[in-house]
Structure 1
C-alpha cells in the first residue's frame, strides 16, 4: 500500500514537472520568428529618462553620453540622475554633462525601488510634464534608436514597454558569458514569444518606459528587491499588458565572478519569492474569473523559484531511480519500455539542448558554424550510450563501474573541443567551452534559489559594483 502511494505521488509530481517544462519549451518556439511590425516613428511623446545610481562614478558618464546622442528630438526628452545615497563622485560627474541631478540621502529606505518612488513624486510636481518615464541602471548603455522604438510601441497603445536587454561585456568571463546567453535566450524565447502570442511581457528592471498617467493612476509602490516584477504583476492585475520592443536595445553590464553573480541572483530569488507570496493567488484567481490565459502565464512566471526547486527534485528522483534498485519511483524516461519512447525522450533532451544555440544563431550572437557544432555535439545523448553498450558487450558494465562512463564522457568532450578548435579557431573554442559551462551556471540556480526562499523577508539591498567603462561604439 505504501509503495503504491509513493509511486502515485512521484507519478503525479514527475508528470506535472514534465508538462511545465514542455509548456515553456513549446511557448519558446513562438519566439523563433519575428512578426512584421508597422512602426510609427513620429516623435510625439516627451520622455523623462531616469538613471538610478548608487556610487557609479566609473560608468555613469558613458551612459549619459549615449543618452545625449539618441536619435530622438533633443527637446522631447530630459535626463535625470538619481544620485542615491552616494559617497563618491557620481553626482559631480553627472553635473558636468548638464543633465538634471537629484541627490537623495535616506539610510532607512535604501534601494532602487525607494529611489524611483522618491523621483516619481518629484516629477509629478514639476511644471514641465512628460508623457512617459524611462528607467535605466547606471551601468547601461543605450542604443541611439531606443526612444524611437519605445515611442513607436507606445503609439500602438501600450502603456508600459520593455526594451531588449543586451550585454556590453559577454566576453569578459564565463560568468559574464553565461549571463549573456541567459538574457539573449530570454529575449527571444520568453519576451518575443509572449509578444507573438499576445501575452504580457515582463519588465526586466532596466530599459523600460511607463506612461506617466498610468504611473500616477496605479502608483509605483514597488519597493521590494525585484521592483520590476512587482510592478508587472500590478499592471496585469489592473488589466494591462507590458509591450515588447525588440529593437529598443540597452546594453547591460554582467557580473564577472561567481560570487558577484551569486549575490545578485540570490537577491532576485528573494524578491521573486516575496512577490509570489503576495501576487500568485491574486493572479490565478483573476485568470480563472476572467478566463484569460496571459494572466495565468504571469502567475506561473512569479513561481520561478519553486519551479526551479521542482526541477531539481525531479532530477534527484530520476538519479535515485537510475542509481539504485528497489525504488518505486516514476521516471518519465522509464514510463514505457518501448524503444520508440526511449528515443523520443532522448530527442526531447536533444531539442532542449540545441534550442539555446539556435536562438543565439537567430539573434546573430554566434556563427552558423558554431550552431552546427553544438547540434553535432548534442548527439552525444545517442552516441555515448551506444559506446557504453559496446563496452558492455565486451564484459564491462558502465552502470556498475562509473569510472568507465566518466572516462567515456571526458574523452568525448576533449576530442570534441579539439575538433572545435581545428575547425572554428581559438575564439569559438573559448565560447564553446563557456557554453558548456553554462550548464554549471544553470545548476547554481538551485542552491541560490533555496537561499532566496529562506531569506525572502530580508529586504536589505545589496549593491553590485560596476567597473566596465565601455563606450556605446564599443558594443
Structure 2
C-alpha cells in the first residue's frame, strides 16, 4: 500500500515538474510589437503603508514624477494602524494620507478593502486603481503601460516586480534571482501563450468597473493570490506587463526573510484549501486549461510540502533502516537522467538571469548560496502547514532608502 502511494505521488510530481518546465520555455522570447494608446485613463494610485516613515518619502517623490499627465492620476496613501510619522511625511509631500485604525482587522487585504469603500464615495471616480507598497519605486512609464493595457481590453494587470536592493546581502540576491526567474519564465511565458498570470502584491492595476462588480473580498495573508483566484473563477484573467516595472525592497536577513515567507506559505495554504477544488472542477467541466493552470498554482504549496516529506521519509529509511525499503521509481531510471533533471532546474534560473541581462556582480558571487535559499522553503512550508490557522499578519520592516536613479544606475554598471 505504501509503495503504491509513493509511486503514485512520485509520478504526479514528475509530471507536474515536466509541465512547468515546458511552460517555462515559452518565456525565452519577447513579443516586441505592442499597441500604444493616447493617455486617457484616469488612475487612483493606492499605497499600502504601516509604519513606513523611513521609506515612504522616496516613493512619494517617485510617484509625483511619473511620465503621465498629472491631472489623470491621484495618489492616496493608506496609513494603516501607523504609530510613527508616516502620515506626516505623506502630507509634507502634498499627498493624501488616508488614516485607518482598526487593530482587530489588521493586514493589507483589510486596508485595501477599507480604502476602496472610501474611494467609491469620493466625488471623483477613476477608470482604474493601481496598488503599490510603501517601500516600492515605480518606473516612469508605469501608468502609461497600464493605460495601454486597459485601452486594449485588459481588466486586471500585473507589472514586472523587480528588486531595488539585490546586492545588499545574499538573501536579497536570492530574492532577485527568484523574481527574475518568475517574471521571465513564469509570468512572461504564460503571457506569451495567452494564459492567466498571477498577482504579486504590488505593481497591480484593476479596472474600476470590474472591482465594483466583484468586490475586493481578498483579506487573507496573501490577498494578491486570493484575488487572482477569485477573478479567474469569474473568467477575468490577469495579464502581465513586462515593461511596467516596480522595484520592491527585499528583507536583508535570513530571519526576516523566513518570517515573510512563513506568512506567505500560511496564506497560501488557506487559498489552496478554498480555491483548488472549485477551480479544478471548473477547469474539467469547461475544459479550460487556464483555470487548470491556476488551480495547479494554488496547490503548489502542497507540492512543496509533499516533496519535502517524501524526501525526508526516504532519507530516514536509508539512514535508520538501511533502506531502500520504500518504492522509488527514480531508482529504476538511468543515473544520468537524474543529473539532467537537476541540471535543467538550475539552468532555468541561470537562463532567466541571462535573458534578463543581469549585470550585478555581487549577485553572481552570491549564487553559491542560492541553493540554501531554495532548500529553506521546505522547512518553512512544513512549519506553515501546522500553523496555517494563524491569521496574525506580520509586518516586514523596510529601511532601505533608494532613489529610482540609483536603481537604474546600478543596473547599468
- TM-score w.r.t. the length of structure 2 is 0.95
Which residue number corresponds to residue 379 of structure 1?
A: none
| Separation (CA, whole Å) in 2 of partners of 1:326 and 1:94 | 62
The counterpart of 2:342, out of the listed 340, 349, 357, is: 349
Q: Does 2:398 align with 1:446? A: no
| Separation (CA, whole Å) in 1 of partners of 2:378 and 2:302 | 10
- 1:85-164 mapped onto 2 (5 Å cutoff): 85-164=81-160
| Separation (CA, whole Å) in 2 of partners of 1:156 and 1:465 | 37
1:299 positional shift:
0.8
Instruction: Give structure 2 stretches of 5+ with no counterpart.
Output: 408-413
**Cα deviation 1:26-84 (Å, max 9, x = unaligned):** 11111111123322231121000000111101100110111111111111101101111
- 1:316-331 mapped onto 2 (5 Å cutoff): 316=312, 319=315, 325-331=322-328
Helix, strand or coil: the match of 1:135?
strand
Answer yes or no: is the 8 Å Cα contact 2:318–2:324 preserved in 1. Answer: no
Count of aligned positions: 406
Which residue number corresponds to residue 59 of structure 2?
A: 63
| Separation (CA, whole Å) in 2 of partners of 1:442 and 1:288 | 32
Query: Which stretch of the first structure deviates more once superposed, 162-171 or 182-191?
Result: 182-191
| Separation (CA, whole Å) in 2 of partners of 1:38 and 1:240 | 21
**Are residues 320 and 16 of structure 1, via their aligned partners in 2, closer, same or farther at CA, if it must alter by over 3 Å?**
farther
| Separation (CA, whole Å) in 1 of partners of 2:329 and 2:70 | 58
Q: Does 2:129 align with 1:197? A: no
**Cα deviation 1:230-267 (Å, max 9, x = unaligned):** 11110000011001000100000000011111111111
- TM-score w.r.t. the length of structure 1 is 0.83
Instruction: Return the index of the structure with the highest Cα Rg.
Output: 1
Helix, strand or coil: the match of 2:226?
helix
Answer yes or no: is the 8 Å Cα contact 2:45–2:129 preserved in 1. Answer: yes
Which residue number corresponds to residue 284 of structure 1?
A: 280
| Separation (CA, whole Å) in 1 of partners of 2:191 and 2:137 | 24
| Separation (CA, whole Å) in 2 of partners of 1:461 and 1:110 | 7
Which residue number corresponds to residue 7 of structure 2?
A: 11
Answer yes or no: is the 8 Å Cα contact 1:305–1:453 preserved in 2. Answer: no
Q: Does 2:33 align with 1:44? A: no
| Separation (CA, whole Å) in 2 of partners of 1:111 and 1:9 | 39
**Cα deviation 1:160-211 (Å, max 9, x = unaligned):** 0000000000000011111111111101111111111211100100000000
| Separation (CA, whole Å) in 1 of partners of 2:32 and 2:288 | 25
**RMSD (Å) for aligned C-alpha atoms:** 1.6
Q: Does 2:398 align with 1:461? A: no
Helix, strand or coil: the match of 1:229?
helix
Helix, strand or coil: the match of 2:140?
coil
Instruction: Give structure 1 stretches of 5+ with no counterpart.
Output: 367-426
| Separation (CA, whole Å) in 2 of partners of 1:73 and 1:353 | 44
Q: Does 2:178 align with 1:182? A: yes
**Cα deviation 1:98-125 (Å, max 9, x = unaligned):** 1111111111111111111111001111
Answer yes or no: is the 8 Å Cα contact 2:44–2:126 preserved in 1. Answer: yes
The counterpart of 1:272, out of the listed 246, 268, 289, is: 268
